[in-house]
Amino acid sequence: MSDVPIVYTLTVCPTCDRLRDAWDREGVAYDERRVDQSQDTLDEALGFGGTVPIIVYSDGRVEVGFEGEVG
C-alpha cells in the first residue's frame, strides 16, 4: 500500500466536499475512490464502514467521517 491514504467518498456529500476542500487547500495527497461510481469500489468501502467519507491510512488505521461528521 502507498503512503497516500485512500479516501472513499460520494460525489454528492457535504462532508466529503469539506474533506476534499480542506485536504486540497493543505496540499494533502490522497487517492479518492467514489463509491457511487463503481460497485467494486462500494464493495471495498463496505469492508471498512457503512458511511462516507472513509479514510484508510497506509498503516492500516481506518477513520470514518471527517472532523466529527459523516456524509
Give pTM, 2 decimals: 0.93
Instruction: Find the radius of gyration of the CA atoms of the chain.
Output: 11
Q: What average pLDDT does the structure give for the chain?
A: 95
Q: Which 8-state DSSP code applies to residue 50?
A: S
State phi, psi for 36 to the nearest 5 degrees. -90, 5
pLDDT surpassing 70 at residue 1: no
For 44: left if phi > 0, alpha if psi spans -120 to 50, otherwise beta; the answer is alpha
Count of beta carbons in the 10 Å neighbourhood of residue 37: 11
pLDDT surpassing 90 at residue 69: no
CB of 22 closer than 8 Å to CB of 30? no
- Tell me the domains of the chain and their CATH numbers: 6-64 (3.40.30.10)
